[in-house]
Amino acid sequence: MATLRNLTEKYSSLSEEEIEWLELLSLDWQLLADLALSDVVLWVPTSDDGYLAVAHSRPAGSVTLFYRDVIGDFLRTDWRSLVDEAMETEQPAVSTSPAWYEENPMRLAAYSVNRRDSSGQTLGPFAVITVHTSVADTQKASRIAAAFREVSEDLFGMVQHGEFPVPGNTRGENRDPRALRMGLSGLTWTASRPSLVQTPRPRSTRLGFETKSRAKTSQR
């Protein structure tokens, strides 16, 4: 089975640092799909001016649009303009009309990928994420679905600015991946896979790293 590194080294000219950044990002790929309630695909530019899919996750709690993984596939020409817009503007690019895959209509969005070096300088973009949401999704009106998507949009925005993933992330395969968001009350809301249940938690957590609540800060 082809890996992200194998495909990237074979078809693209990304640097070792850029490949390592994408590998770190891919550790939370399933969580991003679950929060976005959408298929999420990572594309790298190829040496012949195309894009190749090197990572793909389906949402655990929503409708998937792809009957098979698209890893190893080249970007469809009808999605290219949106991807180019995301890469050129480094802003979210969202389709204004339904995009299509086979016979399935979807909402399509694209986000560029940047990284930060050891000095904090933002470098890129050097890859792009596409988010594929079924127009048949029946969860879009629920409060929980809206909260999940807000968290996913925050994370995609951080990816665009090179703020996510966090270098030094030590999350292992045996640790339950979760995303947390601070509310106005000072509590955090957690969205945890696979249950995807929101629960208020009196602590502040960032993916891959955990810090104590404000009580610890007050003791200093």
Q: Looking at residue 205, what is its pLDDT?
A: 38
Using the structure block, give the residue that is written with the tokens 């999704």: 137
Element (H, E) at 194: none
Question: Is the pLDDT assigned to residue 116 strictly greater than 60?
Answer: yes
Closest alpha carbon to 127 in 1, 215, 2, 7: 7
The pLDDT of residue 140: 58
pLDDT at 64: 86
Cis peptide before 194 (omega within 30 of 0): yes
| 5-20-6 Cα angle (round to 5) | 5
Report d(CA 94, CA 18) in Å as an integer.
Answer: 25
Region of 208 on the Ramachandran plot (φ > 0 left; ψ -120 to 50 alpha; else beta): left
The string of pLDDT tens digits covering residues 49-70 is 999 999 999 998 888 888 889 9
Band the pLDDT of 25: cuts 50, 70, 90: very high
Domains of the chain: 4-173 (3.30.450.280)
SS3 sequence, 107-133?
A: EEEEEEEEEECCCCCEEEEEEEEEEEE
Mean pLDDT calculated for residue range 101-110: 88
pLDDT at residue 24 above 80?
Answer: yes
Provide CB contacts within 8 A for 10, sequence distance 6+: none
Assess whether the previous peptide bond of 59 is cis (omega < 30° from 0): no
Written as six digits, the tokens of 32 are: 């991003």
At residue 36, the pLDDT reads 94
- Looking at residue 135, its pLDDT comes to 83
CB 40 within 8 A of CB 129: yes
Contact (Cβ atoms closer than 8 angstroms) between residue 129 and residue 110: yes
Q: pLDDT: is 192 or 84 the higher one?
A: 84
**pLDDT score at 12:** 97
- For the chain, give the mean pLDDT: 80
pLDDT surpasses 80 at 171: no
- As a whole number, mean pLDDT of residues 193-213 equals 40
Q: Any residues with CB less than 8 A from the CB of 175 and at least 6 apart, and which?
A: none
Mean pLDDT in residue range 153-179: 73
Residue 97: which pLDDT band, with cuts at 50, 70 and 90? confident
Higher pLDDT, 133 or 201: 133
In this structure, are residues 206 and 166 in contact, taking their beta carbons and an 8 Å threshold? yes
Question: Smallest Cα–Cα separation from 210: which of 183, 185, 178?
Answer: 178
